[in-house]
């Protein structure tokens, strides 16, 4: 049975985005929008859709959690042996999308992706809740096939016994962070009549200074 949504639509009327008033650096605007999303209590505003494409030329997308905004990009953590990790190893280009429905806003980030320093990954891993650390060891490899859930739970219990609460869980070599170094970032503000505001920042050269970015308005 089909489902028809052609009569379902909303008029976006909560904000505007003026090219003349945006800051020179996209990171300044991104952080401001993120702060506003947090202040408006958007649920998990740091959740982002991550798109990758591996050697098979088939795109894949999934939700991951942003964990840091740096001076050059954004960082998330995952299993290096996962499907996304295999994609990244074959093709170091990725795109991330944030959608904050409550604010009628999107941020689209594209750039090159690479592993971060292992020591930084280990420091973050040790900050995670104990059982989340255990869970990372169960998912080996992430996206791999498992016979049933009972196998997962048995492995989890075995690891809990091996590494009880208040003991150190070693950081897996197959787990860590990636940074997407931003090359292009688009800010989308919903407007009435589908006349949306779209401002895209593009990096001009290798510098990450505010002066190295140019902005353009895109048609909705």
Binding-site members for FMN are: 62-67, 77-78, 84, 106, 142-143, 188, 198
Residue that has been written with the tokens 């060891």 in this structure: 137
Burial class (CB in 10 A: 0-12, 13-18, 19+), 201: buried
CB 51 within 8 A of CB 60: yes
Which of 108, 149, 191, 194 does the annotation list as catalytic?
194
Instruction: Work out the end-to-end distance of the chain between its first and last CA atoms, rounded to an integer number of angstroms.
Output: 33
Which residues are documented as binding site?
Answer: 9-12, 62-67, 77-78, 84, 106, 124, 128, 132, 142-143, 188, 194-196, 198
Catalytic annotation present for 194: yes
CB atoms within 10 A of CB 178: 23
Q: What is the set of active-site residues?
A: 194
């Amino acid at each position: 049975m089909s489902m028809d949504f052609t009569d379902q639509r909303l008029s976006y009327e909560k904000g505007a985005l003026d090219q003349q008033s945006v800051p020179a650096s996209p990171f300044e605007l991104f952080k401001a929008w993120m702060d506003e999303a947090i202040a408006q209590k958007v649920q998990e505003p740091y959740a982002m859709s991550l798109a990758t494409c591996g050697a098979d030329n088939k795109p894949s997308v999934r939700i991951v959690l942003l964990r840091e905004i740096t001076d050059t990009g954004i960082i998330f953590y995952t299993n290096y042996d996962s499907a996304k990790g295999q994609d990244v190893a074959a093709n170091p280009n990725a795109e991330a999308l944030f959608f904050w429905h409550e604010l009628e806003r999107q941020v689209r980030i594209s750039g090159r992706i690479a592993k971060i320093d292992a020591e930084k990954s280990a420091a973050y891993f040790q900050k995670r809740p104990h059982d989340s650390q255990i869970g990372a060891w169960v998912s080996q490899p992430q996206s791999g096939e498992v016979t049933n859930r009972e196998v997962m739970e048995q492995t989890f219990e075995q690891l809990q016994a091996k590494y009880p609460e208040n003991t150190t869980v070693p950081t897996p070599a197959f787990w860590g962070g990636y940074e997407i170094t931003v090359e292009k970032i688009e800010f989308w503000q919903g407007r009435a009549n589908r006349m949306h505001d779209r401002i895209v920042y593009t990096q001009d050269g290798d510098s990450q200074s505010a002066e190295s970015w140019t902005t353009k308005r895109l048609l909705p």
